[in-house]
Structure 1
Amino acid sequence: MSSTSAITTHVLDTSRGIAAQGLAISLYYHDTIQDKWNLIKHSVTNKDGRCLDLLQMEQFQAGNYKLTFQTSLYFEEFKEKSFFPFVEVIFVVNDPNSHFHVPLLLSPYSYTTYRGT
């Protein structure tokens, strides 16, 4: 899959066996000097559960990043409760010339994530 975004994600709702369309996601960068997370972008997954517009390669730099997935809002759409109100995935980028794909497998009471390709 071709993308101009340096960081992408793909969310699958494993409890339904479908892509998690319409899930709100935020991307942050950690400012180590001020020890705070700075918002880069808010986005929403598309019909395939993908978010491909988080960060342009020109803006990409080494450091710590955080993806926040608004899981309880997503499950409320199905009139379901979720154990996790949100999921935060923090990861380190050492080589900003690489693409980073961070998938999320999601259900109301569990999640799994990994470094994808």
Structure 2
Amino acid sequence: MGLDFNFNIVKDNPRIALACTATIIVLFVGFTLLFSVVGGDGLLEVPPNNISSHVLDIANGKPAFAVNCTAYRWMKPESGDKNEDGMWVELAVTTTNGAGRIPLVHPGTNLSVGIYKLRFATKQYFEQQNQQTFYPYIEVIFEVDDIRKHYHVPITLSNFGYSTYKGQ
């Protein structure tokens, strides 16, 4: 049993048709703005001490949507042997939202002091734009020295160059 709606009311009354159209537009714009601001991650609780990122496609003048980012942490062996090298341990794979943002690159993992790496799949992104790139991926390695802080890693990206810095 479904809801029956008499479309003739809308068809025969221009004011109702206009009101329905305006309501649909307002809802669409509202949800679009909401999801561009929170990036569809509105249900994700983001701790104040985290690592976030933002990727801007400066070649095309827009946020870089749907860039996969893999977060890693450098782990030393538990043996304590100083001659033994450590290894990168994958924490999570996340994707930039419509605003080019990743509010939390390590969901499910608490921030700890150490060396981290973010790997951005730029070739995959530019293939989606039907463009070539010189960099198949970008890796940014940085150190977290205070777990009470927020660390933001922005990327300005073009097909043949990129830049990064410690953001706020």
TM-score range, shorter chain: over 0.9
Aligned positions of 1:7-86 closer than 5 A? 7-33=51-77, 35-55=86-106, 59-86=110-137
Match of 1:112 in 2: 163
Q: Deviations over 1:32-86 (max 9, x none)?
A: 2251100000010000000013235971100000000000000000111110000
AA paired with 1:17?
G
RMSD (Å), alpha carbons: 1.9
SS of 1:46's equivalent in the other structure is coil
Q: Deviations over 1:18-40 (max 9, x none)?
A: 00010000100001225110000
SS of 2:149's equivalent in the other structure is coil
CA distance, structure 1, for counterparts of residue 164 and residue 95 of structure 2 = 18
Q: List, as ranges, runs of 4+ consecutive aligned residues in structure 1 with deviation greater than 6 Å.
A: none
Distance 1:58 1:23, change over 3 A: closer
Match of 2:148 in 1: 97
SS of 2:166's equivalent in the other structure is coil
Distance 1:59 1:67, change over 3 A: same
Higher relative contact order (CA 8 A, sep 6+): 1
AA paired with 1:83?
F
TM-score when scaled to structure 2? 0.65
Contact 2:92 2:107 in 1 (8 A): no
Identity %, equivalent residues: 34
Higher strand share: 1
Higher helix share: 2
SS of 2:73's equivalent in the other structure is strand
Consecutive unaligned residues of structure 1, counting only runs of 5 or more, are none
AA paired with 1:19?
P
AA paired with 1:62?
V
State which structure, 1 or 2, has the greater radius of gyration over its C-alpha atoms.
2
How big is the shift at 1:96?
1.0
